[in-house]
Amino acid sequence: MAIEIQRMTEADLESVGRIEEACFSSPWSRETFQRALRELSVTCFVVRADSDVVGYAVLRLQGRQLLVANLAVAPAVQGRGVGRTLLRAALGLGIRGGASWALLDVRASNERAIRLYSTSGFEAVGRRRGYYSDPPEDSIVMRRILVPDSPSVADRGESPPA
């Protein structure tokens, strides 16, 4: 499957919304994505396969921290490397933006995502009790140190567009 990473646009929001609703029990609204697209400190991008949006990420660069605010892959293509490619692009953006570390929250029961993040160099550094609703659940806070001078998964060529 050939994939391409592009900046998210307003035209992508219908596809992004379908993926969001398929992946999350408390999905972000269209308005939340629209606000993210307008914020200067936020980068939103999509992954396309054969011109179809199959994944997306919403990232916030705050000083030396890259926050992975939202990352999802369409259920039909999960397990095919789309999430890993998306995560590499996110980490590459953070490195180029001067971030020293990346941070994210993940549902404690989302074993597939936790495995992806762990094998991509993230470590669990905390737990937020009752962070998620519908259903209520803890989040695992995960962090990865970003070191631009060392070879890492973020340095293997995948990057979001400028």
Q: What is the mean pLDDT of each run of 10 residues along the chain (162 residues)?
A: 92 98 95 96 95 96 95 95 94 94 96 95 96 93 80 43 42
What one-character DSSP code corresponds to residue 27? P
Domains of the chain: 3-155 (3.40.630.30)
Residue (of 14, 53, 52) closest to 33 by Cα position: 14
3-state helix, strand, coil in the chain (%, to 5): 35, 35, 30
Res 147: pLDDT: 72
Query: Is 22 strand, coil or helix?
Result: helix
Single-letter amino acid code for the residue at 101? W
Q: Can you tell me the distance from the alpha carbon of 53 to that of 47, in angstroms, rounded to the nearest whole number?
A: 6
- 15 in helix, strand or coil? helix
